[in-house]
A and B are shown apart, each in its own frame.
Chain A
Amino acid sequence: MGFADADEVEKYLGGIFAEALADQEIGPKLRATGISLKTVYADPDVTLLIDLGAGQVTRVDESAESGAEMRMAADTGNSYWQGKVNLPLAMAKGKVKVSGDIASLLKLAPLTKKLVPAYVARLNADGRTDLLA
């Protein structure tokens, strides 16, 4: 099972950033990176702009400007936040494509690993065990 529609993708894959930005420990670190990251999800299709400097997550058009960009299937995004996707290996297999300010993006990766428990807890709390990897 996967996400039913774009709203669900936004709710969970965008929501985890919103939650992280509100986190006392991780929030300030994320803001400090000042990165604007565009995440382009496919199937269901939706593009989210994560503006870490401003602390905002918004749904945008795929052509929106950003500092860095990541493209992946929404399913891959769901697995990523559960700690099941190894980024370099996924990039090598073409499952995750990155462009733009890759150096900053890569610095973000270890921070996002800390969010895995929160993401899994959210799925469980919402009874979305169908999304658990």
Chain B
Amino acid sequence: MSGASMRPFDELDVSPLEFWSTTMEERDKTFSVLRRERPLSWHRPMQGGLLAPDIDGVWVATSHELIAEVSKKPEIYSSAQGINMEDLSEDIVEAASSMLGTDPPKHGSLRKVISSAFTPKRVSLIQEQIEGQAARIVDDLLKEKEGDFVKLVSKRLPMWTVFEMLGLEEELREETALHAEELVSWNDDDVAAGRQPMELLNGALVSLLTIGMEFAGRRRAEPKSDLMTALVQAEVDGRKLTDDEIGSFFVLLSVAGNDTTRNTTTIAARALQDFPVQRALLMEDFDGRIGGAIEEFVRWTSPVMSFRRTVTEDTVLGGHDLLKGDWVVMLYTSGNRDESVFVDPWKFDITRSPNPHQGFGGGGPHFCMGNFVAKMQLRAIFDQLLHRAPNLRVGDPDFLTGSFVRSVKSMPCTVD
């Protein structure tokens, strides 16, 4: 028996899917104890629907400090062996995660080439389109008067923005969005609809890769002024992106840019209703306060609840001896409620300053590359919603079960 398998599991069990089917408030009662008493704790492998990992247990980092430490040491805490709690094959990690699933120096060189094309300046070119689209979404909402907020509002902007930015042809958007959805929801019974999780995931992945690579091929043959053209042309220090790399980045963008922003929209809309004083504060000076408010939306929501790393050499973290090969799970959802960093962490406070939340990651080299895109969208949609649909009422959100994305499947709404 190895040392790791003899180590007793923490008495607070955070591994079962059942634990992840409760609310964030409920889960945080457990995390709060862990953060304060045992910010790094040892648990059973997280429960999921895919390949059972060949490991004895996982380390779980719940404090802001340890999440930051793990994020900032990619040489010790590797992403290349997988970033989710389930044991996906290396092939899938590589194909689905692009740079998110790589380590230095490969990560740096890839991120450099991609970011030479994917710049705030390029995205600002479509700022007016994003605002126009946000206005249309609210036009439609006002016409519909009632329905599912996710379908009517939250879902419509993020995927559209990614597609618009990339320049993906209109007729491919619906299908691509569907596969992007499947890629993150294989664990959910509603979405899986009887299909094997692994089959669902692989099928979605292969479809997205195919769409992405064919799309890259069309832009290579006939350049336009969109992001895909910039990606196929990008070159830094003589390095260009291969078809495989572009295909994988296309997958990453379709996923990373999609439900994260969507769920932030949904959950922030609910928070603004639950905390009318905060909402009034925002409306007093929308332009002056929306920037800070968006940071709080992301902290409050924590749409990405976790990412995982694998230890590359024996090390010490939070006073524990970690062995090469150990898994470390970072719970951003917990770091964002750390009472030693955030005063009154369960207060939704749009004027919170400073607000060093970990919604976009713990501050290492993988820090969310599209955060400026997310912020631009959130600003546009809340500008429209708050000014043009002041009587919007939303009901209770129906959450997706899982430990990765904090996703709302539906939330009823009315406007009058």
Q: Establish whether residues B95 and A106, one from each chain, have CB atoms under 8 Å apart when the complex forms.
A: no
Q: Establish whether residues A88 and B213, one from each chain, have CB atoms under 8 Å apart when the complex forms.
A: no
In whole angstroms, what is the CA distance A89 to B244 when docked? 7
Q: Does A109 contact B (CB under 8 A)?
A: yes
Q: Establish whether residues B206 and A107, one from each chain, have CB atoms under 8 Å apart when the complex forms.
A: no
Q: Choose one: A86, A103, A107, A113; the contact of B95 (CB below 8 Å).
A: A86
| Minimum CB distance partner of A106 in chain B | B198
A49 to chain B, nearest CB (A): 22
Chain B neighbourhood of A106, CB < 8 A: 89, 198-199, 202
CB 8 Å contact bits of A60-92 with B (1 = contact, 0 = none): 000000000000000000000000001111011
Q: Choose one: A86, A102, A110, A113; the contact of B202 (CB below 8 Å).
A: A102
B277 to chain A, nearest CB (A): 49
Q: Does B37 contact A (CB under 8 A)?
A: no
| Minimum CB distance partner of A87 in chain B | B91
Q: Does B209 contact A (CB under 8 A)?
A: yes
Chain B neighbourhood of A93, CB < 8 A: 210, 213, 243
Q: Establish whether residues B199 and A109, one from each chain, have CB atoms under 8 Å apart when the complex forms.
A: no
In whole angstroms, what is the CA distance A61 to B94 when docked? 35
Chain B neighbourhood of A113, CB < 8 A: 89-90
Interface residues of A in 80-133 (CB under 8 A from B): 86-89, 91-93, 102-103, 106-107, 109-110, 113
Chain A neighbourhood of B89, CB < 8 A: 87, 106, 109-110, 113
In whole angstroms, what is the CA distance A89 to B213 when docked? 10
Given A89-B247, A102-B199, A109 and B91 touching (CB < 8 A)?
A: yes
In whole angstroms, what is the CA distance A91 to B203 when docked? 10
Q: Establish whether residues A88 and B202, one from each chain, have CB atoms under 8 Å apart when the complex forms.
A: yes
Q: Establish whether residues B95 and A88, one from each chain, have CB atoms under 8 Å apart when the complex forms.
A: yes
B395 to chain A, nearest CB (A): 37
Q: Establish whether residues A103 and B206, one from each chain, have CB atoms under 8 Å apart when the complex forms.
A: no
| Minimum CB distance partner of A96 in chain B | B206
Chain A neighbourhood of B55, CB < 8 A: none
In whole angstroms, what is the CA distance A68 to B269 when docked? 47
Q: Does B51 contact A (CB under 8 A)?
A: yes
Q: Choose one: B51, B196, B209; the contact of A88 (CB below 8 Å).
A: B209
| Minimum CB distance partner of A85 in chain B | B91
Q: Establish whether residues A92 and B198, one from each chain, have CB atoms under 8 Å apart when the complex forms.
A: no
In whole angstroms, what is the CA distance A101 to B389 when docked? 50
In whole angstroms, what is the CA distance A92 to B247 when docked? 9
In whole angstroms, what is the CA distance A109 to B210 when docked? 20
Chain A neighbourhood of B210, CB < 8 A: 92-93
Q: Establish whether residues A91 and B94, one from each chain, have CB atoms under 8 Å apart when the complex forms.
A: no
CB 8 Å contact bits of B91-111 with A (1 = contact, 0 = none): 110111000000000000000
Interface residues of B in 38-66 (CB under 8 A from A): 51
Chain A neighbourhood of B123, CB < 8 A: none
In whole angstroms, what is the CA distance A77 to B205 when docked? 21
Chain A neighbourhood of B91, CB < 8 A: 86-89, 109
Q: Establish whether residues A103 and B247, one from each chain, have CB atoms under 8 Å apart when the complex forms.
A: no
CB 8 Å contact bits of B176-202 with A (1 = contact, 0 = none): 000000000000000000001011001
Given A102-B199, A103-B198, A113-B89, A86 and B213 touching (CB < 8 A)?
A: no
Chain A neighbourhood of B196, CB < 8 A: 102-103
Q: Establish whether residues B199 and A91, one from each chain, have CB atoms under 8 Å apart when the complex forms.
A: no
Q: Establish whether residues A91 and B206, one from each chain, have CB atoms under 8 Å apart when the complex forms.
A: yes
B67 to chain A, nearest CB (A): 28
Residues of A within 8 A of B (CB): 86-89, 91-93, 102-103, 106-107, 109-110, 113
Query: What are 27 A-B contacts with C-beta separation under 8 Å?
Result: A88-B91, A88-B92, A88-B95, A88-B96, A88-B202, A88-B205, A88-B209, A89-B91, A89-B244, A89-B247, A91-B202, A92-B95, A92-B247, A93-B210, A93-B213, A102-B202, A103-B196, A103-B198, A106-B198, A106-B202, A107-B198, A109-B89, A109-B91, A110-B51, A110-B89, A113-B89, A113-B90
The 8 closest A-B pairs by CB, nearest first: A92-B209, A103-B196, A88-B95, A92-B210, A103-B199, A110-B89, A91-B206, A87-B91
